[in-house]
Amino acid sequence: MSKLGQLSMMLGLLSLLLVAAMMSGLIRSERWTISNLEVSAEYQRVSAEQIRTTIANSTERSFFRLNTTQIQKQLMDIPWVRKAQVSKRWPDTLKVKVWEHQAVAVWNEETLLNESGEIFQVHAIDSMRYLPLLVGPQENAQQMLSDYQRLNQLLVPTGVEIARADMSERGGWVLVLRNGLEVVLGSEKMDARLLRFADTWGELLKQSGRLPESVDLRYTNGYVVRWREQQIPVDIEGEVVS
């Protein structure tokens, strides 16, 4: 028999002996209590006190009867907790590891998105208004976050990021940049349209000397710039068309 097989057999025999001892009363589960707690957490949004209080709410202290799955579920109910892992280490230790959500966007005005595009709810969302706002169909959260990150990267040459992105039920996108500019993107060839806009942005500002109110990129050979008093078509080279 291999060493691994021998080890497995020994562990099996020890488990049987432990069960037999408990059934015979030689070992009483109430005598073996959890007395040590080991916690690993980031403590950015979740406090140590929240974790300790949640664990303390479990009245069970027996090493054998303590339900780690139940404690794990309770920890997951704490705002900002994304994942929790709970295990026991013989003879008296409870090990807890907690992962937090990392918010990257506000979703539909009421909830948040983490870096994986998962929706989660927290209190006092108003304090997170510095994050970009994404508005769209509930089932499209993950894909919309991915698209937003890609589109934001295409705008790097302009030096301005996306503050808000709205996607309609039909898939049409409208962006609002950090400088207040509205960008109507549509639902087709979005990358190409935004690249054309980014490439001509500097020339547009140079020619006009002022910030436009909105641009509509849903054109084959250029885009339309709307000023407060008038709208000016601009071709792909950034030249004003009279």
Domain stop point among 72, 100, 128: 100
What is the dihedral sign for C-alpha 64, 38, 96, 87?
A: negative
Residue 197 lies in a domain: yes
| pLDDT value, residue 9 | 67
Cis peptide before 91 (omega within 30 of 0): yes
Domain stop point among 52, 68, 100: 100
Query: What is the tally of structural domains in the chain?
Result: 2
- Share the mean pLDDT of the chain: 86
Q: 85 and 123 share a domain?
A: no
| pLDDT value, residue 10 | 66
Q: 200 and 143 share a domain?
A: yes
Q: Work out the average pLDDT over 115-144.
A: 95
- Containing 56, the helix (H) or strand (E) segment is helix 48-56
Q: 136 and 149 share a domain?
A: yes
Q: 37 and 111 share a domain?
A: no
Residue 22 lies in a domain: no
As a whole-number percent, the residues of the chain with pLDDT over 90 amount to 67
How distant, in Å, are the alpha carbons of 18, 136, 220 from that of 23? Answer: 9, 59, 80
Least confident piece of the model among 22-31, 86-95, 129-138: 22-31
| CB 187, CB 194: distance < 8 Å | no
Q: 109 and 81 share a domain?
A: no
Residue 83 structural domain:
30-100
Phi and psi torsions of 164, nearest 5°: -150, 140
Q: 92 and 48 share a domain?
A: yes
Residue 10 lies in a domain: no
Residue 14 has pLDDT above 70, yes or no: no
| CB 174, CB 180: distance < 8 Å | no
Q: Work out the average pLDDT over 20-46.
A: 75
CATH number at residue 48: 3.10.20.310
Cβ within 8 Å of residue 196, ≥6 positions away:
217, 222, 223, 236
User: How far from each other are the two terminal CA atoms of the chain, in whole angstroms?
Assistant: 90
Residue 210 lies in a domain: yes
Q: 139 and 204 share a domain?
A: yes
| CB 192, CB 185: distance < 8 Å | no
Residue 14 lies in a domain: no
Residue 92 lies in a domain: yes
Q: 119 and 88 share a domain?
A: no
Domain stop point among 100, 115, 135: 100
pLDDT tens, position by position, 191-230:
999 999 999 998 888 887 778 999 999 998 889 999 866 5
| pLDDT value, residue 238 | 42
